[in-house]
Chain A
Amino acid sequence: MTLAVQHARLLFLETARVPIALGFNVAFPSVLMMFFVVPNGAIADDPRAATLATAQITVFAVMNACLLNFGVGVAEERARAWDPYLRTLPAGPLPRMAGRLMNGFAFVLLAVIPVALLAPLLTEATLPLSAAALALPVILFGCLPFLFGGFAIGFSMSIKGALPAAQAIMFPMAFAGGLFLPPETFPGWLDTASHALPTRAARELSVWAVTDGTALSQTAIAVLAGWTALTAVLAVWAYRRDEGRRFR
């Protein structure tokens, strides 16, 4: 456990000492909210719509950060000589993985807190403390498939492959999961199909967390758990077959 904390600490320091990287990671969800929620009067002035939109955009930002940070970040680390060196130290993959998780969660926290503070100030969104306390674990749970998916991408691709792969997965998933446009505007078939996506499941859970009167969706929990298990298996598989850089 202490080793995992050490790994997390170093990973965090590495990013934190590059100001632009730290700034971008922390500000990304807030910036998205400023662009897409705040200027749109129809949403920003309606408490329920503003809250929902903020929740959606936050879920997107966090997922995107997970997929990019872990996908591209891991691919980048593998391309450096430091990572194979770490693999020769007398520790299994777990401390490093756990360290990455802690580091990832630390950045998620840093990024989500400003949104929670800014949204009620700039829009009509309401976020009582109880809802905020509920939203955070929900968001962490919801980003797990993207976190493990990121690992799977990072351990199986080069940086040049990981970046487009992450984007190619993230944007369709985000759109079809109702993170850009509310699913109420979807055609019926898409609305139905989208319930199978982790993005939609995470959205449903966050909506449940931040608004009153929505029922907790058992389906969403099951879907998220399924995707988490699947991506975790993929991540472990990718890690085990990885031997560092690969050339043909």
Chain B
Amino acid sequence: MTPPLARLHNVSRSYGTALALDRVSLDIGPGAVLGLLGPNGAGKSTLINLVCGLRRPTRGEVELFGGSPQDPRRRRALGMTPQQTGLPETLRVREVIDFVSRHYPDPLPAADLLERFGLIGLEKRQTGSLSGGQQRRLAVGLAFLGRPDLVLLDEPTTGLDVSARRAVWEGIRSYIGSGGTILLTSHYMEEMEALSERIVVLKHGRVVADGTPQEVTEAASRRSISFQADEVPELEGVVGRERRGDRQVLYTEDTDALVRELVRSGAPFTGLDVHRPSLEEAFLEIEAEAVSDDDPAGDPTPEPAAGTAEVSR
């Protein structure tokens, strides 16, 4: 088995009394996009900052390529991107690229990077004069400059229009095609589903789901069928039901079997809909669940610091 590129072992990180990560263990293996999902404040950025060595864990251990992320040599095969507004405004695009290149033993040629991220013709512009989308593409591109084995992308496409987002996706896909690994956070479920092979959901600093997008979706959210009818006969395989206006909603593990049951029962109905849950619904479900489980009063304040933290789910 190949060793993980990065590993978190029982990691907690607190800021003052607020606990941002709570006993998280995670292995990031080579050759995939790992999507990190979670509401604002769930600890996604903290996790990324721990992996790249910007922050240190309060407890537990973080490993990057088998060593400490604080050791610059361990970061040689790591790609990071500055956040949205992070480029030095008065410097030119080419200056920024050349400067970052010098940190790596075998960087991509600047021309390749410019082409891959659609920045050709902008070399001489000061980064402050670029549009938001161009700045973002340059920032994301910098992460791939050192031919890294692992790239950390914290919301790479936030605030981008559709075509700029596709351009970033293309860059990411061509990197994955050549065997790279990415740890990605995003608020766009569509992006997560399009790019990630594995999804880890964080909630209140804890991992609450971990699997393929399909597994995460199915674990968190039930399939259902709905139709218009005054009454619903007793059917096999129904695990829950509700009424929404004039529509009946039946939850089940197997929608195909339930439809057959419904037809066979001979009961009248119109407007049948078969509903497969999306990752987005699953996410909302997880978010809602975790809040009610953790904190019955619905108080949005952060959890108490470790020691008094409750038993993990």
Contact = CB atoms under 8 A, between A and B. Distances in A.
B90 interface: yes
B72 A91 contact: yes
Given A10-B88, A14-B88, A85 B80 contact: yes
Contacts of A243: 49, 54-56
B271 to A, nearest CB: 50
B132 interface: no
A85 B100 CA distance: 10
B99 A14 contact: no
A90 B56 contact: no
Given A90-B73, A91-B72, A81 B104 contact: no
A92 interface: yes
A2 B103 CA distance: 10
Interface in B80-97: 80-88, 90-91, 95
A88 B78 contact: yes
A2 B90 contact: no
B43 to A, nearest CB: 15
B54 A13 contact: no
Interface in A210-248: 243-244, 247-248
A81 B90 contact: no
Contacts, number: 75
Interface string A1-32: 01100100010011001100000000000000
Interface string A61-100: 0000000000000000000111011011111100000000
Contacts of B75: 88-90
A248 B49 CA distance: 18
Contacts of B90: 13-14, 17-18
Contacts of B53: 87-88
Interface of A: 2-3, 6, 10, 13-14, 17-18, 80-82, 84-85, 87-92, 243-244, 247-248
Interface of B: 15-16, 49, 52-56, 72-76, 78, 80-88, 90-91, 95, 99-100, 102-104, 126, 142, 146
